[in-house]
Structure 1
Amino acid sequence: MIKKIIPMGLLAIGTFGCSEDNEMSHAEAEEFEGIGVLISDAESQDLHWYNHHNKSQETFESKHAKPRIYRTGSGRYAAIIHRDESLVEYFDSGLELHGNHVDELNEPGIGPMTGVGGKPTHFKSSHNLLLAFNDEDGTLLMADEADVSENGAKMTVLDAGLTPHHGAMAIFDNGNIAVTKKTGDIEGSLPEQVQIIDQTGAMAHEATITTNGIHGNAGDGNHAVFGSASGILVVTQDGAQKLIDHPDSFGDSWFGSILSTQYDGVFVGYTSDHGVYLIDVESETLTPLFTYSGLFRCAMDVDGSHVLVLLETGMLHVLNVSDQTESASGAVISAFEKPSGGHGAVYPSLAASSRYVYVTDPDNGQLIVANLQDLEDIEKVPISSKPYSLSLVGHESEVGLH
């Protein structure tokens, strides 16, 4: 992805909003042929590969039921995270972006490379690097995307001397990794610090700030941004660290989830208590995008230009990052209650291309597909007994497949 730089002052006045003609062309367009959605199931080992352009569906079998699915940095693969079984698999869509078109290099299927680690949970991928943090022992699983289809390939266990905790990491442009550290200053599994290591696990930059707990993070290659009870922790690849305060109205609330956008230095933070905010890490400003108490979940579209906000009422709001306007809203799923159960909870998941949004409906065994510009334009696709996690895989290209 090419990152763009747009100052927050320009964002506020809507300089980069889409034209009416562009909005109309997106509304009338079909889904891109070179992108699909991979969906896991909470009750079986089935993985469902659905292409909305072709209305086609294929089924593959993973090692275990109920894995989480994550798109890799290149977009060609998806990581299949079996946390409780301490295993990572990968799905190969066979779709590779070449210039202005997408090549079908091979038939889709589960690649031979695996990773074995103690409760891998958070996953990150960029610069062709694949990383999963092992909560059980504080190590990381690491591999190159090029090895996903290599017979016998295994992810490397990277030991940076960390103690077990609920960890997270981000990948910098220079190849180093910002990774959380548990000091024991607070009780529980959340870490308090972030340090920078190289790909051998050696220390590149030590932590300089201790927080009251960290959860949720994102990066843009130069900045790694972590949600923290002490403020928004920003770490740059040269080792500098700083905290950005939450709004005074937050009280004890904080951003436990951070998302990347397509713009350098601009991130999205959200909390169920207060809503969705844009974070400009250079100017250290927070701008409300969607204020709401009772927000369920947020996601970015595949190119990082829109935020999707799903409420427990079933309403979905689509927010444009560049001009901070709402481009669409509508009820896409029946009202539901926020589930309990931690990492094993079953709830609606969502992902979006620049044209369509995909929402799992576990209560009805469906994948809901809605036009991103007209959320009343909805299709309900029978998928499995209880669809669990999903991610978009592949690429957007007007040229089509070669």
Structure 2
Amino acid sequence: MKTVTRTILYPATALLLGSAFSSCDRNDSEVVTPEKTESQHVRLLVADQTSTAVHLLDPKKKAQESFQASFGGATLYPTGSGRFAAFVSGANNSVEFFDSGIEAHGDHAHTKGTPKWALTKSAAVKPAHFTVQGSSIAIFGDGDGKLHITNESQLHLATTTTAVPVGSAHHGAVITFANNTYAVSDKATTGATPWRVKIVNAQGNEVGSPSGIAVTNIHGNATDGSVAVFGTPQGILKVQSSGQQELIPYPASFGSNWLSSLSYGASAKTFLGMNATAGLHMVNPVAKTFTSLGGITQYTRAVYDAAGQDILVLQADGKLSIFDGATGAKKIDKSLTGLLPDVATVVPFLTATKTHVYITNATQGKVHMLDKATLAEKHTFSVGGAPSRIVMIGADLSGEGDH
């Protein structure tokens, strides 16, 4: 038999208790902020430092799945739509693609099957540079001097990428313009110099007049689709899709240092240049200026978040800082020394969505999920092994479309 217990409050008692609850629990000026949860279509893909283990994390459900890549220690890149991620293994002449099974459509997303490996693989020799523009994908093979081209729409249909010769084999750089041309480094066949950048079409033919600007080295590149920037010892080489080129000199304070790594933040619409000695600088190729980011000269990792809006900087002392990618203003910083081992010895990788930061902990086999506004830890994924590279794929959206 089910027993029901009722408590009867007589009027006087009820009045007293009601007053007590009102005075103790109610605060008309208090605003309760609901805890932020991750978007339902966000996925984190994590590659192991040495093994072929791959982990797909669903932070909304606090769930994970395991897969196996062809090779361990790959570098990960999201495609333009965010649906796929490329696993680039230069040492093994391999590029393969993983499908999140989630496709973004403006303000909502669709589930497209289950997470799995795509059909397409690339046989580029020593692939090292990966570039996307919309659904277009291009990989530069350092060992064969070729562009290896494909499109997201072909990743479940074609077995391989299309190889396009564009010059001699070298440790190069490439970006894709929105007009379907490519700006690619071109190195002299003998000797160390000169280097230049040329623009080619999808058939590998140079378009426009060759540039007369030559430099002694090229490393690092980024683009907004119409303007590209390349790092060189002589300055930032600005290349426009129209074919115009210009060398922007560094500030005198750089000395012999040069920005050899460059990134573009799509939402912030800014470029970030990096150098282990010169530090972090926001590069404005229109105004031709270099602005130090937070005065930081020593860092272990600096990346835009997945949307390209905020800049995450992890310093050697374990401090994590977040900057507004458009203005360079600091939003928050916090020491993570209680969460992570010595970050200077085993450098973590990190990414972020609109609401959370994700950082790998190879020493302890974990991925930490932090609140982006406070940097407080919200969850830890125990994945085992030595989790290293991490990218966000899927969509930072919660709506599910009906078409």
Q: TM-score, normalised by structure 2?
A: 0.86
Matches within 5 A, 1:179-194: 179-183=184-188, 187=192, 192-194=195-197
Q: Counterpart in 2 of 1:174?
A: 179
Structure 1 or 2, whichever has the larger Rg, is 2
**1:78 pairs with one of 69, 77, 85:** 85
Following the alignment from structure 1 to structure 2, what is the Cα–Cα distance between the partners of residues 246 and 302?
28
Q: Counterpart in 1 of 2:135?
A: 128
Q: Counterpart in 2 of 1:110?
A: 117
% identical aligned pairs: 28
Following the alignment from structure 1 to structure 2, what is the Cα–Cα distance between the partners of residues 194 and 81?
23
**1:310 pairs with one of 305, 308, 314:** 314
How many Å apart are 1:379 and its aligned residue? Answer: 2.9
Following the alignment from structure 1 to structure 2, what is the Cα–Cα distance between the partners of residues 264 and 318?
14
Following the alignment from structure 2 to structure 1, what is the Cα–Cα distance between the partners of residues 82 and 211?
32
How many Å apart are 1:175 and its aligned residue? Answer: 0.4
Contact 1:274 1:291 in 2 (8 A): no
**1:240 pairs with one of 244, 247, 252:** 244
1:289 aligns with 2:293: yes
Q: Deviations over 1:137-187 (max 9, x none)?
A: 21121101111112x521111111x11111111111110000111126863
Q: Counterpart in 2 of 1:321?
A: 325
Following the alignment from structure 2 to structure 1, what is the Cα–Cα distance between the partners of residues 171 and 330?
34
How many Å apart are 1:224 and its aligned residue? Answer: 0.9
Greater relative contact order (Cα 8 A, min sep 6): structure 1 or 2? Answer: 1
1:159 aligns with 2:165: yes
**1:62 pairs with one of 69, 78, 91:** 69
**2:284 pairs with one of 266, 280, 291:** 280
Matches within 5 A, 1:248-397: 248-262=252-266, 266-332=270-336, 333-334=339-340, 336=342, 338=344, 347-397=347-397
How many Å apart are 1:374 and its aligned residue? Answer: 0.8
Contact 1:266 1:281 in 2 (8 A): no
Q: Deviations over 1:308-351 (max 9, x none)?
A: 11112221110002332111111235353656xxxxxx741111
How many Å apart are 1:257 and its aligned residue? Answer: 1.0
Q: CA RMSD in A?
A: 2.1
Q: What are structure 1's unaligned runs of at least 5 residues?
A: 1-23, 340-345
Following the alignment from structure 2 to structure 1, what is the Cα–Cα distance between the partners of residues 321 and 377?
14
Q: Secondary structure at the match of 1:291?
A: coil
Contact 2:231 2:262 in 1 (8 A): yes
Q: Counterpart in 2 of 1:207?
A: 211
Alignment CA distance shift 1:35-1:401 (3 Å): farther
Contact 1:39 1:49 in 2 (8 A): yes
Following the alignment from structure 2 to structure 1, what is the Cα–Cα distance between the partners of residues 311 and 194?
27
Q: Which moved more, 1:382-391 or 1:49-58?
A: 382-391
Q: Counterpart in 1 of 2:11?
A: none
1:299 partner amino acid: V
Q: Which moved more, 1:169-178 or 1:320-329?
A: 320-329
- How many residue pairs get aligned? The number is 368
Q: Deviations over 1:115-150 (max 9, x none)?
A: 111111111111211111111121121101111112
Q: Counterpart in 2 of 1:12?
A: none
**2:97 pairs with one of 90, 97, 118:** 90
Q: Deviations over 1:35-93 (max 9, x none)?
A: 11111112321110001111110011111111111101111100011211101100001
Q: TM-score, normalised by structure 1?
A: 0.86
How many Å apart are 1:208 and its aligned residue? Answer: 2.7
Following the alignment from structure 1 to structure 2, what is the Cα–Cα distance between the partners of residues 388 and 378?
20
